[in-house]
């Protein structure tokens, strides 16, 4: 089957370009005091949400390939669905299946990890996010790996626990620490093994950087996990309680790194002959530590020493760079993306965002594929993000993205383009209501500016989001207000702004509308029929 698109017989594209605006983290939630989208002054969005060509889309759960509709969406699976035009089983679901049927433990990679430890009388290390947020990882996956390690006869295991507070409540680290400590103690006592937590730290300052924004974050993780360098504690609970006491305002994602010691000596440095598993299934915040373990010509920071280990990821985090080279669960093979179809049709496009979401409008949009599909037809623009906590600068780079997008639109070179405003998500994750409101207001102003330009150029704009976040900044629990930093289960807005609209089409009546329906809609508005395998378009022609 080729990648040929058929022209629509009853609709021709507009004279101007088609612009897809993705407002990351701006969901369509209930009107209440904790909804920053509702509380913000958003004259543009208010108008769009009342427009004739408006609907909402499901952006979580089964609509984006996750196990159940209790699972929140995220930017990675969201952009996969937007760009792929149909739904693929995603990370958590694939790992769940592999653990449930035991196939994860029959792979040659798992056998190599185990065999290496047994041969060298060494240690197996598990590094990853310790929570049940199900966005980057799940604690149940770690527990399954630990139980299998015991069954395989491994006597020494170490957990390097990255603390969440972002996809789960902001100060919930002790809940997960206590749970995994109980598992480790039970295994150690029942089987006479030595299993314990060895190091950790908050995800936003330890190990889990992304898009090469700040290598010092990865270095802190390397120092703690590999070298055993950092502030020493007798337990992970003691570390968290100490940091809470020293700074009552601090939240889990920003807790400093820590090292667990026995008799003043780090208990779990990573040494030659060990095996290491990064048990996160999502790639964006796992790739940099993977590079530190695997690349000979690594330049991110001074590693001081690089232990000779067998290293594996839960999944392959970059299919083009082939990193890691060893992984336990195959990622979804996403082919025939909308950009592949449009490049095959000779359609010129651009993609733009700031560093924090640049990979989403390129790599994830293109089906987990690095680089250009056709560099002669595509332009990718990355605006460098500031290295600062996002509540301190909630405007982020939205205005810079807007001005560069206008420049690209005015060039006349491109028939369509896509952009991502990161504000609603990245500022929403901080849990700071005032900053989230400013973030949403910034996006509203930038969308207005872009719509003005699209109107001048006689084009079409689509305004949507990949998941919610800023639409729920706190929840009421047991009569108390609890800050919410995670994504939401709310639908996301979808509006078509067509300044030459003459009732040629309307929003299609579908039993279920999700992000995967957007690709076919884009193709329709560019004058093409959708490919047979794509989910239905959100519009139907009259």
Active-site residue list: 75
Instruction: Give the alpha-carbon dihedral of 150, 152, 153, 158, to 10 degrees.
Output: -50
DSSP 320-355: TTTBSSSEEEPPP---S-HHHHHHHTT--EEEEEEH
How many CA atoms are closer than 13 Å to the CA of 445, on its beta-carbon side?
16
| d(C-alpha 327, C-alpha 135), whole Å | 18
Coil vs helix vs strand at 159: strand
- Measured in whole angstroms, the distance separating CA 308 from the mean position of its chain's CA atoms is 30
Alpha-carbon distance of 489 to 251, in angstroms, equals 23
Locate all alpha helices (DSSP H) within 273-315, ordered by sequence. 287-294
Structure tokens at 433: 């209501």
**Beta strand segments in 203-318, E:** 232-233, 258-262, 265-266, 275-278, 310-315
Number of Cβ within 10 Å of residue 63's Cβ equals: 23
List CB contacts of 118: < 8 A, sequence separation 6 or more.
152, 153, 154
Cβ atoms of residues 443 and 487 within 8 Å = no
| CB proximity list for 386: less than 8 A, separation 6 or greater | 393, 396, 397
Hey, what's the torsion of the CAs at 185, 168, 70, 507, to 10 degrees?
Answer: -160
H or E element that contains 435: helix 433-456
- Are the C-beta atoms of 430 and 486 separated by less than 8 Å? no
Among candidate residues 198, 131, 200, 195, the one with its CA nearest the CA of residue 162: 200
- Do 396 and 385 contact (CB within 8 A), yes or no? yes
DSSP state of 363: I
């Amino acid at each position: 089957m080729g990648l040929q698109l058929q022209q629509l017989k009853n609709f021709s594209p507009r004279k101007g370009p088609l612009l897809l605006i993705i407002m990351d983290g701006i969901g369509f939630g209930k009107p209440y005091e904790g909804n920053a989208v509702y509380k913000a002054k958003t004259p543009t969005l208010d108008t769009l949400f009342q427009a004739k060509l408006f609907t909402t889309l499901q952006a979580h759960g089964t609509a984006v390939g996750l196990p159940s509709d209790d699972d929140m969406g995220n930017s990675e699976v969201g952009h996969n669905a937007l760009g792929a035009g149909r739904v693929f089983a995603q990370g958590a679901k694939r790992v769940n299946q592999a653990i449930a049927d035991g196939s994860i433990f029959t792979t040659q990679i798992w056998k190599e990890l185990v065999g290496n430890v047994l041969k060298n009388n060494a240690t197996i290390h598990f590094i990853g996010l310790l929570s049940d947020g199900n966005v980057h990882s799940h604690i149940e996956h770690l527990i399954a790996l630990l139980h299998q390690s015991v069954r395989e006869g491994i006597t020494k295991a170490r957990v390097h626990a990255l603390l969440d507070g972002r996809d789960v409540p902001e100060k919930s680290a002790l809940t997960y620490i206590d749970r995994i400590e109980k598992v480790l103690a039970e295994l150690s006592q029942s089987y006479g093994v030595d299993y314990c937590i060895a190091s950790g730290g908050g995800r936003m300052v330890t190990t889990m950087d992304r898009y090469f924004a700040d290598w010092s974050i990865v270095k802190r993780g390397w120092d703690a996990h590999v070298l055993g360098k950092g502030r020493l504690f007798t337990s992970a609970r003691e570390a968290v309680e100490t940091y809470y006491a020293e700074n009552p305002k601090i939240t889990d994602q920003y807790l400093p790194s820590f090292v667990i010691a026995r008799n003043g000596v780090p208990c779990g440095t990573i040494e030659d002959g060990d095996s290491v598993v990064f048990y996160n299934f999502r790639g964006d915040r796992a790739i940099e530590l993977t590079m530190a373990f695997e690349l000979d010509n690594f330049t991110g920071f001074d590693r001081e020493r690089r232990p000779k280990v067998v290293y594996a990821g839960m999944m392959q985090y970059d299919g083009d760079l082939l990193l890691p080279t060893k992984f336990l669960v195959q990622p979804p093979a996403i082919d025939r993306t909308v950009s592949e179809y449009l490049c095959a049709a000779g359609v010129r496009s651009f993609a733009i965002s700031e560093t924090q979401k640049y990979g989403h409008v390129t790599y994830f949009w293109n089906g987990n594929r690095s680089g250009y599909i056709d560099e002669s037809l595509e332009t990718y623009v990355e605006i460098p993000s500031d290295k600062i906590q996002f509540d301190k600068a909630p405007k982020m780079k939205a205005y810079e993205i807007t001005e560069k997008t206008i420049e690209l639109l005015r060039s006349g070179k491109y028939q369509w383009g896509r952009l991502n405003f990161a504000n609603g998500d990245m500022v929403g994750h901080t849990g700071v209501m005032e900053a989230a409101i400013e973030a949403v207001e910034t996006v509203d102003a930038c969308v207005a500016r872009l719509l003005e330009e699209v109107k001048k150029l006689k084009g079409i704009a689509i305004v949507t989001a990949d998941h919610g976040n800023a639409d729920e900044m706190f929840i009421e629990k047991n009569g108390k207000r609890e800050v919410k930093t995670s994504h939401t289960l709310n639908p996301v807005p979808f509006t078509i702004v067509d300044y030459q609209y003459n009732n040629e089409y309307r929003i299609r009546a579908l039993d279920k509308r999700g992000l995967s329906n957007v690709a076919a809609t884009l193709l329709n508005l560019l004058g093409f029929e959708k490919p047979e395998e794509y989910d239905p378009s959100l519009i139907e022609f009259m």
